[in-house]
Amino acid sequence: MNSLYLKEIRTKVEALEREIHLQRSILEAIPEPFFVFGENGDFLKVNPKGMNLLGYPPEELQQRVFMDVVPLEDFSRIREAFEEMRQGREVRFRARTISRLGERIPVEVFGVHKKDAFFVMLRDLRERIEIEEEFERRKKEFTEKIRERDLYARELQVIRDLYKEKLNEIEAMREEALRLSYTDDLTGIYNHRFFVEQLTLEVERQKRYPTPLSLLMIDIDYFKNYNDTNGHLAGDQVLKAISILIQRGVRQTDIVARYGGEEFSAILINAGREKASEIAERVRRNVADTRFPNDSAQPNKHLTVSVGVATFSSSISSLTDLIREADHALYRAKKRGRNRIEG
């Protein structure tokens, strides 16, 4: 009977030892810090990960409660969590624990209440927070680089726009300078330089692609008399007005220039002798039909022009020939009474 009783006790003890060993094995197998708390938050069981996290040996933890290892500012949240667990709800939230060395460790808390005990697992968030902070730092750096890039792009675009604007200004100035170099200061029509260059081009083109080409040389009759009688300012106004009347008499494709002094020229592109004479007559009539201030004092009673016409031909086959022939025709018009056309 005694032997049987001892055997029964031994069996119960062995079963209890196996249960304790199993519990210990289960606690050790849990990969996160794991705690079992009593109703007052006292430490009942702690796995090795939990002891490593807090840094306390088991005997010290048994003399403490959970509130001893959390910062004061987290008390309210911990109390709320334990109350929620008592009501049968699982909790999950972030808090901090204080290690034996005083380090504040950010953790994520998972908890549930079963059979008059709180089962709580903590997840160490230090590495995760470091990763998050590193991510935020890199995100901030990346955002700053994007901002700097965008700022640089905007500044670069401003510089490009300014550069483009300056190029346009330079191009406009260049075009204006070119225009001025080819423009007569007083009348605003082409000057002698442009006349020579353009006539040279047209003569060369006519040689390659034979088309009619004519030239008008136009001179204001008795202009010196008008200038001496009315003054240079009045004379300048007459030069401007007659340059306009000549332009009205020619076609849009023709080129009118001030040849020098009171003499003008007109390059008539694709115009033979007959067409050139028709245009010359229109120019002469435009001037003759216009009244100018005090022109009645002129020897022929009003301002007129004489016109010499020359047309490119086999006998007039160079720029020099064309100008000379138009000049000779103009001379004949002057000799034969002015206000007329010769050619």
Catalytic residues: 262
Rg value, the chain, Cα: 55
Q: Could you tell me which of 255, 253, 148 has the C-alpha nearest to residue 200?
A: 255
Beta bridge partners of 266: 216, 256
Number of CB atoms found within 10 A of residue 104's CB? 13
Q: In what order do the strands lie in the sheet with 255-260?
A: 255-260, 263-269, 213-220, 305-311, 341-342
CB 288 within 8 Å of CB 205: no
Distances (CA, A) of 136 to 107, 153, 186: 19, 25, 73
| 291/149 Cα distance (integer angstroms) | 70
DSSP H or E stretch at residue 123 = strand 117-124
Sequence-separated (6 or more) residues with CB below 8 Å from residue 302: 288, 291, 292, 295, 296
Count how many residues are written for the chain.
343
